[in-house]
Amino acid sequence: MTLKQRYKQAAREARWALGLTVLYMLGWIACAYLPDGSTGPLGFPLWFELSCIYLPVLFIVVAYWVVQIVYQDIDLETEILSKSDRTLSEHNAQELTK
């Protein structure tokens, strides 16, 4: 993967992360403030169950699938220098040690 492709993939992953964050916040706000004061199936207030139990579990599953589908393993090492560049680098290192 070239450096340009790495940056493109990193930007794509960052956009997905930002989008999921915004979607989670909107979902949390909707779940916390839209339901009436009724009780949920677990006995807690419905707003609490939706925003603090069900939505996080849902987003754990969504985040898992996004990581599996969108994110890629990227090598963080830089490309190996060509022989002429390596020789020049070795020469510069030798000059510094003198």
Over residues 59-95, the pLDDT tens digits come to: 999 999 999 999 998 887 776 555 555 555 565 566 6
Measured CA to CA, the distance from residue 31 to residue 24 in angstroms comes to 10
Q: How many Cα atoms within 13 Å fall on the side-chain side of residue 65?
A: 6
pTM: 0.70
pLDDT of residue 67: 95
The domain limits of the chain are 11-93
CA angle 83, 86, 90 (to 5 degrees): 135
pLDDT of residue 37: 84
Over residues 18-57, the pLDDT tens digits come to: 999 999 999 999 999 998 889 999 999 999 999 999 999 9
Strand blocks (E) in the chain: none
pLDDT of residue 31: 93
pLDDT of residue 88: 55
Taking Cα atoms as reference points, which of 91, 7, 89, 16 lies closest to residue 59? 16
Phi, psi torsion values for 39, nearest 5 degrees: -95, 140
| Number of C-beta neighbours around residue 50 at 10 A | 20
Measured CA to CA, the distance from residue 83 to residue 17 in angstroms comes to 39
pLDDT of residue 3: 85
